[in-house]
Amino acid sequence: MFAVHLLAFHFTKLKEDQIKKVDRYLYHMRLSDDVLLDVMARFQAEMVKGLGRDTNSTATVKMLPTFVRSLPDGSEKGDFLAVDLGGSQFRALEVKVFNDGKQSSQLESKFYPTPKEVIQGSGTELFNYVADCLLDFMESKNLQHKKLPLGFTFSFPCKQTKLEEGALLAWTKHFKVRGVQGTDVVSSLRKALQKHKASFIPQSEWLTCAWCKGVVLGTGTNACYMEEMRHIDLVEGDEGRMCINTEWGAFGDDGALDDLRTEFDRELDLGSLNPGKQLFEKMISSLYLGELVRLILLKMTKEGLLFNGKVSTALLTKDKIEMKHVCAMEKYKEGLSNTKEILTELNLFPSEEDCIAVQHVCTIVSFRSANLCAAALAAILTRLRENKKVLRLRTTVGIDGGLYKTHPQYPKRLHKVVRRLVPNCDVRFLLSQSGSAKGAAMVTAVAYRLAAQRKQIDAVLAPFLLSLDTLREVKNKMRAELEYGLKRETQASATVKMLPTYVCGTPDGTESGKFLALDLGGTNFRVLLVKIRSGRRRSVQMYNKIFAIPLEIMQGTGEELFDHIVQCIADFLEYMGIKGARLPLGFTFSFPCRQASIDKGTLVGWTKGFKATDCEGEDVVDMLREAIRRRNEFDLDIVAVVNDTVGTMMTCGYEDPNCEIGLIAGTGSNVCYMEDMKNIEIVEGNEGKMCINTEWGGFGDNGCIDNIRTKYDIQVDEGSLNAGKQRYEKMTSGMYLGEIVRQILIDLTKQGLLFRGQISESLRKRGIFETKFLSQIESDRLALLQVRRILQQLGLDSTCEDSIIVKEVCGAVSRRAAQLCGAGLAAIVEKKRENRGVEHLQITVGVDGTLYKLHPHFSRVLQETVRELAPQCDVTFMLSEDGSGKGAALITAVAKRLHNIGRK
């Protein structure tokens, strides 16, 4: 018994000594965590270089766009073919994909050898061979008469310009086929199939790897991942994500890893088919690790450290030690016996001590491979985490390749080092089953799904894409409706009411004094004190307070509404300490009114969600006076009732005398402009000008624009408080755009094109998709994070692809709104030009409204449309600063000035 323990002790001692000896000899192959973190940082820098348009040419990590933009979502189905070229065997497959909610598939395949004369012959021979094998496979499966989509896995670095096109950059993995580099490999395969007179020509889609975060560790090595489009300078567009094929095998080709490369790495590289290239791959892939072990053992033997210094022929023969030998020697239980057997077959006749040393050499070589691979993968994971702007990333890495699958210790080592280098990433490693070939079929399936979905989405959004001819037609119809509204005999039936405001002048700079202004036009009501100073120190000072109008007041009785307004005025006067002063007051009332004078306004009809009873057909100024009398606390001199568009025009007119048009593009949509009195048949007098409140929101209520209304517009109209009215406003104003988007999203979801066909309860609620969401969504350039956050608020679990579609829907709806608004405005500026009788008009439009101010594209599209449709008009757009409040005070001041002039 003692003898056995003594033997075990000697063996352990022997093992430790041998391990220390090898450790000292291969010291430079052992990499600390600090070194690996440094490698990780170097790789990250190369990734950034590879993604940049100006730096890609000098980057060793090429970061090639694959044009794979989406991952399988489980709705893919159908039969697909796949071919897989990239190693010692060529493979053809048939993949059946089932839409059964489990993302299941069925795969049948056949392997074909890739003879040396083929992989080192001509391109024609190679692709003819691939075509032969594919057709043989199809005949064996009785598929030759079916026209199936084809996915082509071509595992060599290619530059892609689209999904089904890729030009070979360089051969790797012992391939040296002539005449292929720089050519499109998909086109070469198509030609080979055509030449073979195949009964079908497959639709070829190709990719490098089908995983969103994929690593291949085998004969070659590579990784791909889904990168944010905004970071990929090499491809147009910044929405969504695209799979990037890193081609990380070339990392270090510029000398970046020279401090880590050993004499054995250099010797291996010099003896390869491509010296100086794919240096990272030569340090970690299974194609080279066996040879690296051979070179180390050869030198150690020559130095008398192994096999009594006897060098066998096997040790002198290149590639004699293969990766399968390394794997066998590293098995824990039978590793030493395997090692002895393998070395004996190589005529080396090892001692126990030799077997231990050789086994440890294999361990160090393969461990270094796992360490370097982990550092590069950690760099990719860190980038993904930073792209997603999360403190902790949870993700899955798809992994394939013989080294990972067959080496007994490699997976455990790789996982352990990755988790140590990126402790803030929870990584699950998922072993691919037929990853490269099945992946090609899945990418083809996804491409088919996306193409079909694209067709459906385009069909839904097509009615929102208005041609220039359609916009000209809208402009001409608006012009005709403007004329109807101005004429005595047609005004009563006109949809564009062209209401006279009795505002007959614009500020001339002499206005001064203190004025009160009221602003009612939405869910908030404002009271303002405005101090206007004239002369050289001309200025306008404003003090205001905002009061909410509850829904029950908006939709209660008229008396309740105006009593609430007067209560707010009383609070403000007390707050400002001016309750006893009788100040002139301007009342901004942003609803269609028919005016008989500047201080009389009869409400034509409520808009924007108001439904207070006993108001329509009544003079709102009288209703305000009555409410003030009922309260009996103060008195006010109500000089003018003002529409918000008029206030906007007056505010900008105070700064720019050329401003004769006011535009509101916000909750509501409206325009006013200064019209020649001679054209206003419904008002006496032909001299001078008067501001006309067009109330253009009613344009189309007679059916004249029904040809451009969509089913979604009709749904929004029918569900509104004033069905059949304000149709143009319902296509152009902020109050309704979010609801149009909601209706489209519901339709797309019902068609299975969004949110996996699941409509959340909140999305079913009318008005839940606020128009401010459109501005936020279309402003989002941060990896669609804002879009996804908004959708999450609505209970919608969205993918990146969902977010892109939602953003596209918002863009289509808001662009149409801006274009329609621009077409209407073009009709007005053209009318102004003709009124003046000039060839070319210069004019300023004062603009207010949240849609114009806050939406990232609305103002630009509107201005572009006006330029297109009114090319003889040079229109300046001036943003109004508080037009509805300040404008009301200015109109009151102008009215007072003109009244005083009249009395004199």
Catalytic residues: 526, 590, 644
Residues 6+ apart with CB under 8 A from 240: 69, 228, 229, 784, 800, 801, 803, 804
Strands (E), 521-636: 524-533, 539-548, 584-589, 593-597, 600-603
Six token digits for residue 340: 């002895």
Which segments of 429-528 does DSSP mark as H helices, in order? 435-461, 468-486
Q: Phi and psi of 142, rounded to 5°? A: 60, 45
Q: How far is CA 409 from CA 334, 360, 370, 511, in A?
A: 13, 13, 10, 88
Q: How many CA atoms lie within 13 A of 649 on its CB side?
A: 27
Instruction: Please list, residue by residue across 601-630, b when 16 or more beta carbons sit within 10 angstroms of its beta carbon and e when fewer do.
Output: bbbbbbbbbbebeebeeebbbebbbbbbee
| Collapsed DSSP state (helix, strand, coil) of residue 153 | strand
Q: Phi and psi of 898, rounded to 5°? A: -65, -35
Q: Judge contact between 481 and 495, C-beta under 8 A.
A: yes
Please report where in the chains the tokens 């630009």 appear, as a residue: 860
| Collapsed DSSP state (helix, strand, coil) of residue 147 | coil
Evaluated on CA atoms 773, 776, 779, 785, the torsion sign reads negative
| Collapsed DSSP state (helix, strand, coil) of residue 516 | strand
CA–CA gap between residue 170 and residue 153 (Å, rounded): 16
CA–CA gap between residue 779 and residue 773 (Å, rounded): 10
Q: Judge contact between 188 and 181, C-beta under 8 A.
A: no
3-state secondary structure 880-903: CCCHHHHHHHHHHHHHHHHHHHHH
> 587: left (phi > 0), else alpha (psi -120 to 50), else beta?
beta
Instruction: Please list, residue by residue across 423-460, b when 16 or more beta carbons sit within 10 angstroms of its beta carbon and e when fewer do.
Output: eebebeeeebebbbbbbbbbbbbbbbbbeebeeebeeb
Q: How far is CA 365 from CA 16, 26, 27, 285, 295, in A?
A: 18, 9, 11, 11, 11
CA–CA gap between residue 106 and residue 96 (Å, rounded): 5
Six token digits for residue 361: 């050499």
Q: How far is CA 738 from CA 558, 804, 808, in A?
A: 29, 17, 13
Q: Judge contact between 149 and 141, C-beta under 8 A.
A: no
CA–CA gap between residue 125 and residue 127 (Å, rounded): 6
Alpha carbon 251 to its chain's center? 30
Q: Judge contact between 209 and 248, C-beta under 8 A.
A: no
Q: Judge contact between 103 and 72, C-beta under 8 A.
A: yes
Residues 6+ apart with CB under 8 A from 714: none
Please report where in the chains the tokens 């090319």 appear, as a residue: 871
Q: Judge contact between 47 and 383, C-beta under 8 A.
A: yes
CA–CA gap between residue 28 and residue 257 (Å, rounded): 13
Evaluated on CA atoms 465, 470, 472, 478, the torsion sign reads negative
